């Protein structure tokens, strides 16, 4: 009966060793859990970015003012009844 007890102890130690030390044991499970949590954070950030882009697309589709503003800021376009003034910094005349 004593050898059965020793056998069970050895098997238990071997299984615990596999659980804690093997490549597909506890460490891998913990690392995968951390990776899933990180991916969820990235997904949430991307969802927020996509929502902002969707709102911008809808605004550009439905409103002329948004399209004009975008053309002015990104493309440097000027409206028909507008005058463009370019301000050039003066040269420093104190330098020789």
Alpha-carbon separation of residue 20 from 31, 55, 70 (angstroms): 13, 49, 57
pTM above 0.85, yes or no: no
Alpha-carbon separation of residue 22 from 25, 51, 94 (angstroms): 5, 43, 75
Q: Which two tokens stand for residue 96?
A: 């020789």
Confidence at 16, pLDDT banded by 50, 70, 90? confident
**What does the domain layout of the chain look like in residue ranges?**
24-74
Give pLDDT tens digits for 43-93: 999 999 999 999 888 877 887 777 777 777 787 778 788 887 778 888 777
Q: What b-and-e string marks burial along 1-16, b requiring 16 or more CB atoms within 10 Å of the CB? A: eeeeeeeeeeeeeeee
């Amino acid at each position: 009966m004593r050898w059965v007890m020793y056998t069970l102890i050895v098997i238990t130690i071997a299984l615990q060793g596999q659980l804690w030390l093997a490549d597909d044991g506890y460490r891998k499970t913990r690392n995968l859990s951390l990776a899933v949590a990180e991916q969820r954070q990235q997904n949430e950030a991307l969802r927020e970015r996509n929502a902002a882009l969707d709102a911008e697309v809808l605004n550009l589709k439905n409103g002329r003012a948004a399209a004009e503003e975008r053309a002015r800021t990104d493309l440097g376009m000027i409206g028909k009844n507008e005058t463009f003034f370019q301000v050039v910094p003066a040269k420093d005349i104190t330098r020789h």
